[in-house]
Chain A
Amino acid sequence: MMEMELPQATSSVVLPTTEAPAKTTTRAVAAKKPPFKLVPFLANLGTHGALIIAALIAAMPLLLIFFTSLKTESETFSTTISILPKVWHWDNYTYVLHDNFLTYLTNSVYVAVLTTLLALVVTLPAGYALSRFEFLGKQGVMLSFLVTQMFPAPLLLVPLYLLYYQLHLLNNDNGLVIAYATTALPFSVWMLKNFFDAIPKELDQAGLVDGLNVWGVFYRIIMPLTIPGIAVVAFYNFMNSWNEFMFANLFISTTDRQTLPISLHNYDFATGVHWPWLCADAIMITLPVMLFFFWAQRYLISGLTGGSVKG
């Protein structure tokens, strides 16, 4: 009975060291397991029930957006329950695709890719330095990361807008890249530090003994071991810039430079929102990130907790 209730560490690549013994013990216990017992069966049933309900609640809005994206406009104002569209109107997608979608897409890809690259170049060395070295001001740097999280983003907008004006970064996608990479920076560095903390320092020393300099140790030994961490931070920055609305809305004024999130505005008419078009657009914006997310989520788990679980 008891083996059913043991929290086990099983899935994925997260923590191979704790995983291995967990698996063997389970197997040993499982061998003795009697054919059927009521309590574990009910516990399992309850677990699946609770998880199915939770998964439904989590997924429902996305499903409803998808169904709405296939409706006619009058159907969205129905006062009777109609979850599924009567006829599947894929032409909502065609309409949105022909409404400058490719321009927005190109801009979004440009901004997201460049943000990710810039963020990695800046945060990787910083995360490594914070993980491996003691230096004056280290505590201050870590503390300032936390303080930046407390300052409300809307208040950065006005001074940043004026600064961008002076630097000719308004209506410029590179301005967005800089803003996104910087605002995601504290969290990125903090996550990378956690990843580096999880790699034994003995590896650094072995590298130094073998005649590498610090840069060589970082570049040739530690960085290849941090690929999951790099993936997490890359993904975090990509998602962040792909989804960002506030800066893009304020800084970019012409259609040829706008990113995907702003395109949603196109369907918010003075007469009201055209929900089918807006939902079709939302689905096309969300889907690529969502697929990417499902692939990367296992790494996210280790990235967010890597070093902070030690205590």
Chain B
Amino acid sequence: MAKEAAAHPQIAAPPLMTRIGRFLNGKAFAYLCIAPVILVMAAIIFYPMIQGIFYSFTNANDANIGAHIGPNVIPPSYKTVGLQNYINILSNKASGSVIFSGLLAQTVIWVLGCVIFHAVFGVALALLLNRRIRFRGIYRALMMIPWAMPQYVAALAWSFFLNQDYGIINVTLTTLHLHAIPWTTDANWARVAVIMVNIWLGVPFYVVTVLGGLQSIPAELNEAAAIDGANWWQRFRTVTLPLLRPVLSLVMLLDVIWTFNLFSVIYFITGGAPGHASDTIISYAYEGPIQGHNYGIGAAYGMIILLILLIFTIGYSRAVRLSQGVE
């Protein structure tokens, strides 16, 4: 009410103090509330981000970025190199034996594999957990474990289980007189390993969000469909899934972005091995240029990732009209 009154000027202008009061109770308050967020983000996220963008056009590395050693200040001495970093990356000249199209292909496989299985398992488990059954709380709590564990602890643990010689999986296989799986020496098994671990990590987030979505669907809708003779699959497709779409489309978008940028799983499980077969763009950028202190190249990789994700997000939002889901 107050907001509408402020938006439509009255015929007789209200007294000055009232107008100031309205301003303080409206927009000024909003700006004051949002200001700290903007300030902190500007300093800690946007400023480094812009500096990163700038570095991507330079040959900055550990030797020329400048330093303060005791009282001595060594000024930065890197130069701008234009688009050279990008050209080098895209023409596979940036570093060593890595081929960009290979990284890109593995990134697509990794993101698709993870997101599709996350969604399928997440929705299926949420549907099961939404039934009225005994021990539901216990099941749900146990299923949250992968989310509650620190990510690097989980990744370290999995690297232990997937160990070639004494990991639990291969030990079990050899005891059953089956062949041990070459988790980190065979390209395809390495891809399976990293995707498998990340599926394990990501399903709880879907279970939680989809369960929230399911609980907001009025039971009457499903009852009505059941009375009309719809079986469970028809009810799922025509009633439940459409009503889950706003939640799912947003969660899947976030999942694509997060998975694209996730490197700890690959870093701990295979380290990109064999060769760079299980490396995605981000995991390679971290293992290679960033840890090797080639900040210019590393930043250029970051920009390429940012551009891919921006284009994807715009296309995706158009496709599912995300705006309705967000607003």
**Chain A: residues with CB nearer than 8 A to chain B?**
2, 4-11, 14-15, 18-19, 21-22, 25-26, 44, 47-48, 50-52, 54-55, 57-59, 61-62, 64-65, 68, 76-81, 83, 121-123, 125-126, 128-130, 132-135, 141-142, 144, 146-160, 162-163, 165, 178-179, 181-183, 185-186, 189, 205, 208, 213-215, 239, 242-243, 245-246, 261, 264, 273, 275, 278-279, 282, 285-286, 289-290, 293-294, 297, 300-302, 304-306, 308-311
Contact = CB atoms under 8 A, between A and B. Distances in A.
Contact of A8 (B131, B213, B264, B324): B131
B194 to A, nearest CB: 15
A176 B228 CA distance: 58
A52 B142 CA distance: 10
Contact of A205 (B1, B128, B246): B1
Contacts of A64: 157, 161, 168
Contacts of A142: 326
A184 B68 CA distance: 30
B116 interface: no
A289 B47 CA distance: 32
A202 to B, nearest CB: 9
B82 interface: no
B52 A158 contact: yes
Interface of B is mostly: helix
Given A135-B31, A182-B44, A9 B215 contact: yes
Nearest to A286: B149
Given A80-B175, A158-B295, A7 B131 contact: yes
B38 interface: yes
B96 interface: no
Given A55-B143, A81-B172, A61 B26 contact: no
Contacts, number: 327
B81 interface: no
Given A6-B222, A142-B326, A159-B51, A285 B153 contact: yes
Contacts of B3: 133-134
B313 A146 contact: yes
A285 B152 CA distance: 12
B219 A7 contact: yes
A34 B129 CA distance: 24
Contact of A135 (B2, B30, B141, B305): B30
B313 A150 contact: yes
Contacts of B115: none
A297 B295 contact: no
Contact of B45 (A148, A294, A301): A148
A282 B152 CA distance: 10
Interface stretch (B12-20, B84-92, B250-258, B271-279): B250-258
Interface string B212-247: 111111111011001100001001000010000111
Given A213-B25, A285-B153, A304 B41 contact: no
Interface of B: 1-3, 24-27, 29-34, 36-38, 40-41, 43-49, 51-52, 55, 65, 68, 121, 124-125, 127-133, 135-154, 156-158, 160-161, 165-166, 168, 171-172, 174-175, 200, 203-204, 208-209, 211-220, 222-223, 226-227, 232, 235, 240, 245-247, 250, 254, 257-258, 261, 263-264, 282, 285-286, 290, 295, 298-299, 301-302, 305-306, 309-310, 313, 324-326
A14 B247 contact: no
A192 to B, nearest CB: 11
Contact of A149 (B127, B204, B258): B258
A133 B26 contact: yes
A183 B40 CA distance: 10
Contacts of B161: 61, 64
A51 B128 contact: yes
